[in-house]
Structure 1
Amino acid sequence: MTWDVFNIIGTIAFAISGAIVAMEEDYDLFGVYMLGIVTAFGGGAIRNLLLGVPVSALWDQGLLFNIAIVAMTIVFLFPHNMLKHWRKWGHFTDAIGLSAFSIQGALYAVHMNHPISAAVVAAVLTGTGGGIIRDLLAQRKPLVLREEIYAVWAILAGLMIGFKIADTPEELYALFAIIVILRVLSYSFKWRLPSKSFRSKNETF
């Protein structure tokens, strides 16, 4: 039950996130569906490849595909004046998707009896993989590769679940809320990881 809940939450959140990015880039309806689908399912597909799960397992998620399509359609049909306000929530839906899919990915690896390192990698790939593909298709710099704190929260989820610190449904839901809050705080207060550039301050391209 816990697995299914996180799967549904992550699918809806990332499908909406992808749809919002597509509309911000003035993509048509096909582009909205395409970015929404790759955001919602791209991370899981990459994770499955690394964990040795057949890629065809994605096609067993018919219900989730339907849920994603419904969510994207609703967002696309929102009145334009309401969408302007809805865009402000893009980061929040992305935070929800990151948290839900990071936990789901880590649980996936643990249930397959993989080591802690696999749980961390599965959490990062499931939580960030779809967003990376989305940003690349939208011709944006991938959010996870900037100095902004993002993947760190997925790593936290992998460690908590890999070490079985968060194991019961109640603990997993609490971890979900904590990661969402941390992600919201990190972009609200512009927390940054250290970075170093070889580009001169006066250098232009």
Structure 2
Amino acid sequence: MSWDILNIIGTVAFAISGAIVAMEEEYDIFGVYILGLATAFGGGAIRNLLIGVPVSALWEQGTLFTLAIIVITLLFFFPNSILKPWKKFGTFTDAVGLGAFAIQGALYATAMNHPLSAVVVAAVLTGSGGGMIRDVLARRKPVVFLRSEIYALWAVFAGLVIGLGIATSSWHYYLLLSLVVILRMVSYHYRWKLPYRPLSNNM
């Protein structure tokens, strides 16, 4: 049940995130659907490739595809007076998708008895893979690589908590989701950064 709910939360959140980015870039309705679906399902496809699950397993999620299409359609036809304020919450919906999918990916790898390293990788790829695909298709720098933001680190955190067996029940997973979202939003608001080392004196 936790797995299914996290899947639904992540799918809806990332479908909204992808659709909003597509509309910000003034893509037509086809582009909005493509970007919304790519954001919602791209991370899972990349994860499946690396942990040995057939990519075709994605097509078994017919209900989630239908849900994502419904959400994108509703969002596309929202009046501008309603849609414009939603753009301000793009970072929030992206944070929800990051957390939900990172936890879901970690649980997926754990269920397959993969080692901790694979659990963390599954968390990162499932949580941030869709966002990377979204940003590349929108011709933006992927958020996960921006030195001005901390993003994928929170997926690593979720993967470690799951992989080390610290979170083991439904309420643990939802508490972890809330914590990841809060950390992502706080780090975004206060512009926390990871250390980096420029090689150019001009940087």
Q: Same fold (TM over 0.5)?
A: yes
* Secondary structure of the corresponding residue to residue 107 of structure 2: helix
Counterpart residue number, 1:178: 179
Paired residue for 2:52? 52
The alignment partner of 1:101 has SS state of helix
Structure 2: tracts of 5 or more residues without a match: none
Counterparts of 1:160-179 in structure 2, within 5 Å, are 160-179=161-180
Give the structure 2 partner of residue 134 of structure 1. 134
CA drift at 1:82: 2.0
1:4 matched to 2:9? The reply is no
Q: How many residues are treated as equivalent by the alignment?
A: 202
1:74 positional shift: 1.1
Letter in 2 for 1:33: Y
Stretches of structure 1 lacking an aligned partner (at least 5 in a row): none
Counterpart CA distance in 1 for 2:146 and 2:33 is 26
AA partner of residue 99 (structure 1):
G
After TM superposition, the score normalised by the length of structure 1 is 0.96
Q: How does 1:84-123 map to 2 (within 5 A)?
A: 84-123=84-123
Structure 1, 81-90 or 37-46: larger mean CA deviation: 81-90
The C-alpha deviation readout for 1:132-165, integer Å capped at 9, x for no partner, is: 0100000000000111100000000000000010
1:44-91 Cα deviation digits (max 9, x unpaired): 000000111111101000000000001111111111122221100000
Give me the TM-score of the superposition, normalised by structure 2: 0.97
Identity %: 64
- Distance in 1 (CA, whole Å) between partners of 2:151 and 2:101 is 13
How far apart, in 2, do the equivalents of 1:53 and 1:121 lie?
Answer: 14
Deviation at 1:170, TM superposition (A): 1.0
- Quote the residue 1:13 is aligned against: 13
* Distance of 2:187 and 2:53 partners within structure 1: 33
Q: CA deviation at 1:200?
A: 4.9
4+ runs deviating over 6 angstroms: none
Deviation at 1:197, TM superposition (A): 2.7
In structure 2, what residue type is equivalent to 1:32?
A: V
Supply the distance in 2 between the matched residues of 1:103 and 1:164 (Cα, whole angstroms): 12
Partner-residue secondary structure (3-state), 2:21: helix
The secondary structure found in structure 2 opposite 1:175 is helix
Q: Which residue of 1 aligns with 2:80?
A: 80
Partner SS for 1:201 = coil
The letter of the residue matching 1:108 is Y
Give me the whole-angstrom Cα distance separating, in 2, the residues matched to 1:53 and 1:143: 26
The AA in structure 2 aligned to 1:93 is: T
